[in-house]
Structure 1
Amino acid sequence: MSTSWCTTVVRSAIRSSCRSSSIRRGTTPVAITFDSPLTAALGAATPTQRKRFEDGLGLRTVGDLLRHFPRRYLETGSLTRVADLRIGQLLCVVGEISECQQHRYTDRRSGRPAFRVEATLRTGGPSLKMTFFAKHQKMADWHADRVAVGNRGVFLGKAGRFRDQWQLTNPQLSIFGMADDEEDSAVQEVLEFGDLYPIYPLTKGLQTWDVARAVKFARSVIEPIVEVLPDRIREDFDVLGIDDAYEWVHRPDTRDQVARAHHRFRFEEALVTQLVLGRRRRANRELAATVRSGGDGTLLAAFDARLPFDLTAGQRSTGAEIEADLARPHPMNRLLQGEVGSGKTLVALRAMLRVVDSGGQAALLAPTEVLAQQHHRSIVTMLGELAEGGTIFGSADGTRVELLTGSMTKTQRTGPLSRIASGEAGIVIGTHALLQDQVMFADLGLVVVDEQHRFGVEQRAALTDKATAPPHLLVMTATPIPRTVAMTVFGDLEVSTLSELPAGRAPIQTNVVPLADQPAWFDRIWQRVREEVGKGHQVYVVCPRISGDEQEAGQVDVVDLPDPEDPDDQAPSAAPPGAAAVEEVVERLGAGPLSGLRVGRLHGRMAADEKDATMRAFAAGAIDVLVATTVIEVGVDVHNATAMVILDADRFGISQLHQLRGRVGRGGLPGLCLLVTGADAESPARERLDAVASTTDGFHLSRVDLEQRREGDVLGASQAGRRSSLENLRVLRDEDTIVAARAAAEGLLDTDAELAQVPELATAVRDLELSQQAEFVDKS
């Protein structure tokens, strides 16, 4: 193909007139704004195309379309220069079809006839092969018509090699003369751009130039966009104006323009989020709370005196922070995070005892019955005779520790409800049952929420509302949280961190067992389990399923996310079937490799008394091997358990694997964790497992987890690959932006708490506070 022909196309395209930049109903112009329906920007799009924009891309308004940013940019010089190719290179080429053949074959999976169309594209450089597959003759004929010999057009796809030939993989194409316009509008859209052409996130049936064309039209007809950021903020933090930002993100001339546009939108999102959190922190400080200074401190002193070990430096400093908060006349709102086994429960118990010493009650909310029962057992054990008190709230003689769960019968609940209401129970531990209307406290002074990410805003409020005055709040997580996540997601909380482990915690060796590479190692796993039991120790075996495809409540298979920079990389629609299940594994192990050992089972479908009995038996050494779901993930503390086998470990996220292995090595004995997987080497799943095996540093793993899963469940979403509520921000990548935005937010609130001087920004803040994202900010 000649260069002169390409030049003619470019000149012809540039001369083509743009569509009208006005919309009329009758004779009256209609103003187009951010809130206008998307159809106002789609012009002559067919109903099918509109449905793809709305349902496929989730765009409803013109503003949604303009906020649908390109995922990457293509250097348009490749339109005429494709001599230097590399595998994976994204190409947008003008070319001509020189060969086209249609083949019929039998699909191996279905056994039915299928078709493929193979074409050769002649360009200014190497020729490129293209293949199109079809399930029936009509579709094959349609492909063949588009790529008939002699047809010319624009082709967009990735360069690849197959059988020593260059090919264009999964190409998008627009053929000259097949559109309604004399010169195809898609070609015009590509060629009218400068050095960079935007490549947009797409859905089936839409091409990137369809989106570019709609964005271009929307930009030409929309009313002036309101500037949210005040001039002073933009000047102080070197942030681009809103008009330039939209122009440069959708139609840039240079990479620097792209970077500056992205920085603008990320800073704006960070600033609005930090203003919401900052207002919430300040509003909390305005609330009146009962001071819990600890009275004479006799109960806490008696507890400290009976501890058989010294507190770590971290436990002492964190305890001092919490004591200072409890002594203030406004509610404490503190996040306590720490490594698995760092002693968060001990810190929380000391805070609860301080509140009891102050004449109040404390409630600990746990997400599962297994964890609630474990907390009750461990707290009663730590308190010893101090848990036998029966006076109102408590005294130096002790305080009553009450357990309340949903599986308890009405008769079983009568006594605890009465003692909670009267104040005889100073410490109350329970599940969602604590949230029910019939649960009343005499003087609830402190709410402790364990594994806070499993509870929503309404659930926390349902418990704190049971207090006569706003209670103090301590939320705990064993999932280490990077600094910017704490600032962005938990920005309305003060953060305390326990990073050191108490004395006596033994190292945990973690090994990946790659069955895809070494299938014979499966037998060695169970030999290793027998060796541990032979030494008098106990073992956990963790499965992602209860039975068949039935999952544990709250457990979601990890699905590897697509690469946002790769338009051809799509996440699978669901996790593959056939994961290891507790019921089947128990039977298989008991009758096979672990025959003769005492093998127990534990999962969320079991009755509460059965689960409690199983955990007690395991803790007492009456069970050698406990096959369980993730109900043992947190809080379970059996010192004689030294090994854990996690089957189908690639089904779990990094943080969850780190939590699970923290159940072993707790009694001073070295721990062993085997991550069993069938995932292929070099796969994302194996990368996750190798990361867990390489370190026991939970804070390092939390960053790896975020990098791989792009926020994931740290931000409250599941591990199934759904996006977080952040649109443009990424808490690791944009750390500097978040820090700067927080400083800007604090400065604005210091001088103008109501944001009266920045009304546009105040509106954006109110919109976020009232939107569904407010629940995300609240860590739902």
Structure 2
Amino acid sequence: MVAMADGLETVVSPKVASQISTLGIVTVGELLRYAPRRYVRQGQLSNQEMPVEDDWLTIVGRVTGASMIPMKKRSGKFLKVTVTDDDYTYVANFFNARFIQHRIKPGARVLMAGKVKIFRGQIQLSHPEWAVLPDGEAGVDGVVGSAMLAQMLGAEAESLDESGNTAAEALVDRSIIPIYPATKDIQTWTIGAAIARTLAAVERSGAQADALTDQQQRSRGLISTAEALHKVHLPETEDDIEAARARLKFDEALAIQTVLAQRRIAGRTENGPPCPHVAGGLEDRLRERLPFTLTDGQQTVVAEIAEDLARDTPMSRLLQGEVGSGKTLISLLAMLRVVDNGHQCAILAPTEVLAAQHYRTMTSMLGNLAEAGELTAAEGATKIALLTGSMKTAGKRQTLLDVVTGEAGIVVGTHALLEENVAFFDLGMVVVDEQHRFGVEQRDTLRGRGKDRLMPHFLVMTATPIPRTVAMTVFGDLDTSVLTELPKGRQPIKTSVVPMRNSAWVDRAWTRAAEEIAQGRQVYVVCSRIGDDPDGKKKPKGRNEESEPQSTSVLDQYTELLGGPLSGHRIEMLHGRLPAEEKNAIMDAFGRGEIDVVVSTTVIEVGVDVPNATMMVVVDAERFGVSQLHQLRGRVGRGRHPGLCLLMTSAKDISQSMQRLRAVEASTDGFELARVDLEQRREGDVLGSLQSGGVSSLHFLSLLADGDVIADARELADDVVGADLPLADHRPLADLVDAVLVPNKVKYLDKS
């Protein structure tokens, strides 16, 4: 009997199993849930979405032109073939093409596979694998192709499907042909043959129990999982494909929501430190000192968190909000409530720059309320400690002592907080800022350091907006609070794209920066890399035949500005390889207005607050993601003056990169931009992007489009898990979770 958890070697040859493993697929269940990218109908051409450069693309189409073209830079000719699939026209270039030119002729129906290049808006494949397919219309009976393709389409034992057909026969005999996402290491026809063999072996083993009852299937209009797996790979009609995808989509949603429901329900059995409001405590005293009134949105979130903290079960809450919406203040009020109840708090930041910024912001807000142990301290004051990896031994020793004795009520730190020698006196709350920067095990470390087996309250903060359906999936075990309202007085930020190929526009950008400085304001210039290899050798800037243009580095840009458009102004560099003391000194000086321009990497992406900084120039902006650009520009416009963000780019006018930049230029709505970002990345490894440790993409479920499916699956999972937490009486559902997520993914979801 073949089970979904079995290794591929049980059904295919070791050679094919090894090839398929390059896709991250090692079990029978994973292979059967590997979705076709699209389908080609016999007698029709493919319906291919616009490919992305460097994708490995498989096309089935008809040759519309084939001609030998003289090469410009050397003697000889190459064969230029145009192929259409009714949606796009592709150009395939072949070198040393004497054999090929007599076989690929206009009118032939061909299959081609290769790496995509986009040249002047034209999709090109350079010397792809190819095959001329049997086609009565063109009078072709057999298969002929490139050496690699002919071998793959030939009669090797490992390429045979369960019926004994070769991959070629299986390919051309079906009315609807599945085309699978492939790579140069393994082609779609090899994947298809392996799936056909595996599917037959599983079906021969007998019916497998379904995670849904017959009634649950009927009420949702779903077919069984076994039927769906067959139809998605071997469809006879369009309806087969639609029905299969609907069921497999629900399976993915149900598997994820089941694990998250287990976490939610298991969390209710844990004990946390109850922290009710303490009248006249530090929380109240900070509120009295604030020179402004909390917005309605802030007050709502504070109340939600306060309600959680008052319970004797640990809070698990996600706080997401726009850049500058006041998340730091809200987290500080929550931590002070925990401190008022006699416990400690830890706030974990991804970089030393951000940790130091949090430390400065909080000590400034609290004043003498954070000066415990000093003569100037207010009555009942606490102490804020900063712990980073680069601290000198004496300072670190004192901080560790303040933490273990309970002298420090709030501890701000980087990864250094996770070290084994960091012991808390009574940790009652953990705040993780920009949680996507931390791995699962890292975040989990602090949660296990509560006193007397109490689990600390847990607050995750992010300024990267997360669409509702994504949050429901990735953070389905957390309660969610959202801040969309910016505090009064926040200034608008204008964003403009500046094409770098237009030197006049680039010159104007730097002139504009000089004008801003002349008015007493400050400027950020952000680059995508530092500019030196770790060994200190400078990377060459420019283009060669095998690489893209090198991006402008911090070192390059700093040197250029010093001697050019901003010469005479106070300019400093800031990047991750600088010593911590130097980084902090630069940021402090910038905050005091002693530096006009900081040329930086993305170390200033989050948390940095300099109200007098009004302009940002992002160089090579196409190298940054949509959400990252939104985060970066949030560093300006934080004071009395409007902000300006210039996105300098060498991206082509018609490209996905330029589409991203135009989206950022057109909107300041972080949630809308998050949706654009997710759509452009095709949702990708949504779980993997959150440090899952190898979670593969969802093949059927769209976290953007399938909100109803996710909500339905969540409700069903809650019902089942609420009555049967370990799924002891729901073995098929447990098997489904294992098949969809596999053990390492479940481990991620269980700890994230």
Give the TM-score of the pair, scaled to structure 2: 0.84
Corresponding letter in the other structure for 1:476: M
Return closer, same or farther for 1:762/1:297 CA change in 2, 3 Å cut-off.
farther
Shift of 1:59: 3.9
Describe the SS at the equivalent of 2:409.
strand
Aligned pair partner of 2:730 in 758, 761, 768: 758
Shift of 1:460: 1.8
Task: Please state whether the residue corresponding to 1:668 is helix, strand or coil.
Answer: coil
Q: 1:635 to 1:130 in 2, by over 3 A?
A: closer
Q: For 2:7 and 2:248, locate their aligned partners in 1 and report how far apart those are by CA, in whole Å.
A: 22
Residues 118 and 129 of structure 1 are in contact (CA less than 8 Å); yes or no, is this contact kept in structure 2?
no
CA RMSD of aligned residues (A): 3.8
Structure 1 residue 224 displacement after superposition: 2.7
Q: How far apart are the structure 2 equivalents of 1:168 and 1:316?
A: 57
| Structure-2 change in CA distance of 1:678 and 1:122 (3 Å) | closer
Sort the Cα spacing of 1:172 and 1:383 in 2 relative to 1 into closer, same or farther, 3 A.
farther
Match of 2:530, SS state, is strand
Distance in 2 between residues matched to 1:78 and 1:713, nearest whole Å = 32
Give me the whole-angstrom Cα distance separating, in 1, the residues matched to 2:509 and 2:670: 25
Q: Distance in 1 between matches of 2:59 and 2:362?
A: 63
- 1:281-320 equivalence runs, <5 A: 281-320=264-303
Q: Which amino acid aligns with 1:540?
A: Y
Which residue of the other structure, out of 673, 678, 686, is the alignment partner of 2:650? 678
Q: Which residue of 1 aligns with 2:132?
A: 173
**Change beyond 3 A, Cα 1:529–1:470:** same
2:471 aligns with 486
Q: Any idea what SS the aligned residue of 1:429 has?
A: strand
Q: Relative to 1, partners in 2 of residues 1:600 and 1:574: Cα closer, same or farther, differing over 3 Å?
A: farther
Q: Which residue of 2 aligns with 1:595?
A: 567
Q: Report if aligned partners of 2:263, 2:750 keep a CA contact under 8 Å in 1.
A: no
* Shift in Å, 1:352: 0.7
2:631 is equivalent to residue 659 of structure 1: yes
Residue 446 (structure 1) shift: 0.8
SS in 2 for 1:476: strand
Q: Does 1:704 align with 2:688?
A: no
Structure 2 residue identity aligned to 1:676: M
Please tell me whether residue 202 in structure 1 is matched to residue 182 in structure 2: yes
- What's the CA shift for 1:581? 1.2
2 CA distance for matches of 1:121 and 1:621? Answer: 61
Larger Rg: 1
Is residue 390 of structure 1 aligned with residue 393 of structure 2? no
Match for residue 689 of structure 2 among 686, 710, 717? 717
CA 601–712 in structure 1, closer or farther in 2 if over 3 Å, else same: farther
* Pair 1:543 & 2:527 matched: yes
Structure 2 residue 456 is matched with structure 1 residue 471: yes
Unaligned segments of structure 2, at least 5 residues: 52-56, 114-118, 135-141, 145-149, 157-163, 536-544
- Post-superposition offset of 1:355: 0.7
In the alignment, the residues of structure 1 paired with residue 227 and residue 189 of structure 2 have an alpha-carbon distance, to the nearest angstrom, of 22
Deviates more, 1:744-753 or 1:501-510: 744-753
Counterpart residue number, 2:557: 585
Does the aligned pair in 2 maintain the 1:297–1:357 contact within 8 Å?
Answer: no
Matched, 1:76 2:42: yes
- Indicate conservation of the 8 Å contact 2:314/2:457, yes or no: yes
Shift of 1:548: 4.1
The 1-side partners of 2:726 and 2:165 are apart by 53
- 1:237 is displaced (CA, Å) by 2.4
Distance 1:610 1:86 in 2: 49
Q: Distance in 2 between matches of 1:354 and 1:149?
A: 77
1:257 aligns with 2:240: yes
Residue 114 and residue 450 in structure 1: after superposition, are their counterparts in 2 closer, same or farther (change >3 A)?
A: farther
Q: Residue 563 of structure 1 aligns with which residue?
A: none
Matching residue within 371, 377, 383 for 1:400: 383
Q: 5 Å matches for 1:40-79?
A: 41-42=11-12, 47=15, 52-55=19-22, 57-78=23-44
1:450 counterpart (420, 433, 439) = 433
2: distance between equivalents of 1:717 and 1:657?
17
Q: 1:32 to 1:133 in 2, by over 3 A?
A: same
Change (3 A) 1:306 1:755: same
- Work out whether residues 686 and 697 of structure 2, in 8 Å CA contact, stay in contact via their aligned partners in 1: no
Question: Using a 3 Å threshold, how does the CA distance of structure 1 residues 420 and 224 change in structure 2: closer, same or farther?
Answer: same
| In structure 1, distance between residues paired with 2:422 and 2:155 | 71
Q: State which drifts further: 245-254 or 395-404.
A: 395-404
* Structure 2 counterpart of 1:219, one-letter code: L
Alignment of 1:117-132 (within 5 A): 117=79
- Count of aligned pairs: 696
- C-alpha distance in 1 between matches for 2:400 and 2:25: 50
Q: Is the 8 A contact 1:274 1:491 kept in 2?
A: yes
In 2, Cα distance between equivalents of 1:658 and 1:87: 26
Tell me by how many angstroms 1:302 deviates.
1.0
Partner residue, 2:491: 506
From the superposition, tell whether residues 67 and 450 of structure 1 become closer, same or farther in structure 2 (CA, over 3 Å).
same
Mark the runs of 5 or more structure 1 residues left unpaired by the alignment: 1-30, 552-572
- Offset at 1:544? 0.6
What are the residue-to-residue correspondences of 1:196-345 with 2, within 5 Å? 196-204=176-184, 208-222=188-202, 223-224=205-206, 226-231=208-213, 232-345=215-328
Distance across 1 between alignment mates of 2:256 and 2:528: 36
Amino acid at match of 1:667: G
Residue 270 of structure 1: CA displacement? 0.9
In 2, Cα distance between equivalents of 1:424 and 1:587: 46
Mean CA deviation greater in 257-266 or 233-242:
233-242
**Overall identity of the aligned pairs, in %:** 46
Offset of 1:155 from its aligned partner?
Answer: 2.2
| Alignment partner, residue 622 of structure 1 | 594
State the Cα distance separating 1:217 from its structure 2 match.
3.0
Counterpart in 2 of 1:426? Answer: 409
The superposition leaves residues 48-81 of structure 1 with CA deviations (integer Å, 9 ceiling, x where unpaired) of x6654443x44444444322221111221338xx
